[in-house]
A and B are shown apart, each in its own frame.
Chain A
Amino acid sequence: MSSATLRPVAQRRALTKRILKSLPWYPFIIINLVVFVVFNLWPWLSMFQTATFKTDLLSHREFVGLDNFVKMAGDELLHLALKNTFLFALLYVPPLVVVSLLVAILVNQKLRGMKFFRSVYFLPNVTNIAVLALVFRRFLSPRDDAPFNYLLGLVGIPAQRFLLDIHQALASIAGLGVWQSFGFFMVIWLAALQAIPQPLYDAGRVDGAYGWRLHRHVTIPLLRPTAAFVVVITTIGALQEFGAIFILTGGGPVNATTTAVYHIYSQAFNFTRFGYASALSILLFLIILVIAYIQNRYLKFDEEVY
């Protein structure tokens, strides 16, 4: 009997003690918490609500249930936008992954001036997309003697229309993206290459592995987590490409560069369909989540190799 009455008291005392011990820590996280609730959690939750309305944010607000999602099935521009988004990822991710790895291997040599080259390759990556767009809009001009066409002319290739050609516009923007980002991923590959312990190679050689076999069993397995990281990060980036498209092509020519994010932007801000844009945002979120999940699983991102 007495122990039964004592226990809640002891429990309460322990709880009070724990709360008192906790209190001094909350001021350290309160700003973070407020920012995340206001700018992330709240918008994130309200997105699901807005997605069930037809609203222009001004006068019109009408509950439509799941109509916005049903509407996606018949939205042909959305289908084209999704196709363009995946095409862009294909044009952007593999070249970027390969080029950045090759450049990392190149600058990983112990030669003079390597630090200088690394910095130079990193430069486009710290420059904002508006600057790059201002410059490359001029380089990619369809005129015969604009920079790129001039260079093509030197090797006998006729002038191209680049951003004005429905078959070249998306590839041109992907090329700009690869040029901008390879320095960033070069640094990530470099860190991975330099983290491979030399004794592993020595041990491999002792075990009789040379040349290709040595790389097959030492380098590649050890680069695998980095490869997974780079592929997932670049893919997530590719699926959300916006700045260059907005400035350089505005989704054109003839919607050839209308990607998922551009479609969302355009539905919201050109057509004031905020409910539909919210529903599309949920779709985009799910697509990115599923692709990142599949890549993670397939590439065994979390595998501890080290």
Chain B
Amino acid sequence: MSSLRPQAQRSPLTFLRVWIGFQPNQGLRTVITYLLMGVLAASTVGPFIIMLSVSLTQNIRFLLFPIDLIPNPITLENFQLLFARTLALRWTYNSFYVALVSTLGGVFTSTMAGYAFARGDFIGRNVLFYMFVGILIMPETALIIPQYIMLSDLGLVNSYTALIGPWFASIFGTFLMRQQFLSIPRDYDDAARIDGANIFDTWLRVLMPQLIPAMVTLGILRFMGNWNSFLYPLIVTTKAEMRTLPVGLGTVARSGGDAGLDMAGAVLGFVPTFVVFLLGQRYIIQGVSLSGLKG
């Protein structure tokens, strides 16, 4: 059947061809497509290349065009200045610590709760489930002030507990893992039970090993989300040494230093998520399309 289908009608450029009478031949169409995508790619990558280049340039007060993309001489002075003048090293440590604990905790609790909501039959399950849905639709910025007040009452402002706390459980993660557990046939549970496993063993030894890819996806999304969060860590930290890297870099940006110093800070904040993205982009894109399809 599929060989009967003309290739052109499957192509999305059919939109242009049919709707506005634009009808290039195959070769021209390919050239135009690559041209458009190339320009767009340059616009998304260009700023990061310039960022890196300026961060390695000596004595650069302003970023003015045209610039040499490969600085001469290449210097690490801006990074030395950044670490000497700001608490960038400490912020980096804070960010890594908070993001790692938040990610591990969030994935772990989501996997547990997802299992309970998928397989468990316990009193209050539906009430809790709808409560979680209710929390999920709460816009988080509306909760920032009362969260700060609560943490202030408890004396937890400027603590790792405050930075990590809300990330130690994830409603999105719980729903995602619940979906994943539901996709595994109950036959596995039954077989495990016949072999004498209790619900804990079934969860840990029988079902969880099948969900490692989903857990990795969730973990990467949580890591990115936590690392990139800004408003919450901004309000729960007032001391410079407790800030996360993005919040600390925000203060650098507002202080109006050299372009070189700014860009060194930007590179420092850029690299960790870039590396995670390079290693895990398959999982990230999977996770995003998953969240979109589920609506």
Which residues of A pack against B, CB within 8 Å? 18-19, 21-29, 31-33, 35-36, 38-44, 46-47, 50, 57, 103, 105-111, 117-124, 126-131, 133-139, 141, 143, 145-147, 150-151, 179, 183-184, 187-188, 190-193, 195, 198, 201-202, 211-212, 215, 225-226, 229, 236, 239-240, 242-243, 246-248, 250, 261, 264-265, 268-269, 274, 277-278, 281-282, 284-285, 288-289, 292, 301
Contact = CB atoms under 8 A, between A and B. Distances in A.
Given A21-B121, A130-B250, A124 B146 contact: no
B15 A151 contact: no
Given A129-B228, A146-B62, A195 B146 contact: no
Interface string B195-214: 00011100100000000000
Contacts of A40: 135, 138, 143, 166
A133 B295 CA distance: 30
A240 B121 contact: no
A223 B149 CA distance: 43
A281 B270 contact: no
A219 to B, nearest CB: 8
B10 A25 contact: no
A35 B254 contact: no
A191 B246 contact: no
Given A28-B203, A246-B230, A284-B141, 16 more contacts: A32-B109, A39-B165, A43-B147, A109-B12, A117-B37, A123-B48, A126-B276, A130-B246, A130-B253, A135-B266, A138-B62, A242-B230, A247-B253, A278-B149, A282-B142, A292-B137
A50 B139 contact: no
A131 B166 CA distance: 24
Contacts of A201: 9-10
B122 A43 contact: no
A137 B250 CA distance: 11
Given A117-B37, A202-B5, A215-B18, A44 B146 contact: yes
Interface of B: 2, 5, 9-15, 18-19, 30, 33-34, 36-37, 40-41, 43-45, 47-48, 50-51, 54, 62-66, 109-110, 112-113, 115-117, 120-123, 125, 128, 131-132, 135, 137-150, 152, 165-166, 168-169, 171, 174, 198-200, 203, 224, 227-228, 230-231, 234-235, 245-247, 249-250, 252-254, 259, 262-263, 265-266, 269-270, 273-274, 276-277, 281, 284-285, 288-289, 291-293, 295
Contact of A183 (B44, B269, B289, B295): B44
Contacts of B165: 35, 38-39
Nearest to B269: A131
Contact of A277 (B110, B145, B266): B145
A136 B47 contact: yes
A25 B120 CA distance: 6
Contacts of A212: 18-19
Given A31-B112, A109-B12, A188-B289, A120 B128 contact: no
Contacts of A131: 51, 246, 249, 265-266, 269-270
Nearest to A33: B128
Contact of B292 (A25, A26, A107, A192): A192
A121 B40 contact: yes
B143 A122 contact: no
Nearest to A119: B281
B174 A32 contact: yes
Nearest to B60: A138
B139 A22 contact: no
A30 B2 CA distance: 52
Contacts of B168: 31, 35
B138 A285 contact: yes
Contact of B139 (A117, A147, A285): A285
